Structure 1
Amino acid sequence: MSNFFTPGKSTASLRRVRPTDRDFILDASRVFEKFGPYVEIINGWLTDPWIEVMVLETDGTKTGFIFLGPLFPSYFRATVDVMAIYVRPEARGKGLAKRMLRWAEARALAAGYLTLRAHVGCENEPALSLFKSTGFKVIKKIENYYPSGLAAYELRKRLLKENE
């Protein structure tokens, strides 16, 4: 578990997903429905052994989550994806998503990956701003990327070890 402290405010922690988190995650995943059947897709990801899921809690309340994967064995270690990231609307703007992305970077580096990748809907300005503010670069636009037919930007961030 990773703890995040906001001076004078709440305490947030990031922990591994538990079976009791499924309802929270699937309910929150409805925000992704315009991109396709993501409640069903994310439900499948929850049981995928190659995907790591972390849940964000703020003062004991489930506030967000991040999906990272697939984390394959060492010979596939070039790029790993931030597959989904979510923070409840009332908790946004406090740096919590940035902290989850920092966890994803550290986890990917620890597993030997060189690049972190994300796909973001072209109209999703808040998510684009989040990823860009943490060092991700837009690589290309992909038409019809999502099952719904919407386009996405592919973003990447090269991961650097402390001595690079």
Structure 2
Amino acid sequence: MRIPTDHSGNSDGTVVGLKGSGFVLREADFSDMAGLERIENICFPYGRYSGAILRAFLMNPFSRTYVVEQDGIVASEIIIIHRRSVEIASIAVLPEARGRGIAKALLGKAEQIATKKRISTLTLHVAVDNTPAIKLYEKEGYRACEVISEYYGSGLSALYMKKELNIQ
């Protein structure tokens, strides 16, 4: 299923502003499980979500999972939980697809959901040693709030980051 992506893309789901061609941002479904698990395994050496957890996110009415695919191959994911705030539970882009603006487009999708639901706060956790991601999040308006020791259970801490939107 292709979805309108507002400022993140065209009405056919094609993501605008990305380097390269043929990228489509769409909501994930159960047929994407292999791609989601592949992304988790490649992108997260620690703290990755299992297949059971990924399926639970797909079934949860307070969560949305989106993928960006190129030529039918899932290249990235974002898992968004929305209640009182919008939490980015996972965001990942395969190494070969990085540097093309995909993560920025996925963050834009999270903001779009927050705005639609009139939620002003977006949050995420990122490994303290993931400097490229931290720089991207800061560039997109996220601010570091605290360091959470041993967040990933492997001795690695996480940086808790937050962004406030001006929802009117």
Task: Find the counterpart in structure 2 of residue 106 from structure 1.
Answer: 112
Q: Which amino acid aligns with 2:39?
A: A
1:8-87 matches, cutoff 5 A: 9-30=20-41, 31-35=43-47, 38-40=49-51, 41-69=53-81, 71-72=82-83, 77=84, 79-87=85-93
Following the alignment from structure 1 to structure 2, what is the Cα–Cα distance between the partners of residues 19 and 131? 29
Give secondary structure in 2 for the equivalent of 1:46. helix
Over the aligned positions, Cα root-mean-square deviation in angstroms equals 2.0
Q: Matched residue pairs, number?
A: 155
Q: CA deviation at 1:49?
A: 2.5
Q: CA deviation at 1:7?
A: 7.6
Say if 1:48 and 1:149 are closer, same or farther in 2 by CA, change over 3 A. Answer: farther
Q: CA deviation at 1:129?
A: 1.5
TM-superposition CA deviations, 1:16-62 (whole Å, max 9, x none): 11211001101211132423x52254343233222100111124332
Q: CA deviation at 1:13?
A: 1.8
Say if 1:111 and 1:7 are closer, same or farther in 2 by CA, change over 3 A. Answer: closer
Q: CA deviation at 1:128?
A: 0.9
Counterpart contact for 1:146–1:152, Cα < 8 Å = yes
Percentage of pairs with the same residue: 31
Structure 2 runs not aligned, ≥5 long: 6-13
Task: Find the counterpart in structure 1 of residue 125 from structure 2.
Answer: 119
Give secondary structure in 2 for the equivalent of 1:62. strand
Q: Give the TM-score taking structure 2 as reference length.
A: 0.82
Q: Which amino acid aligns with 2:57?
A: W
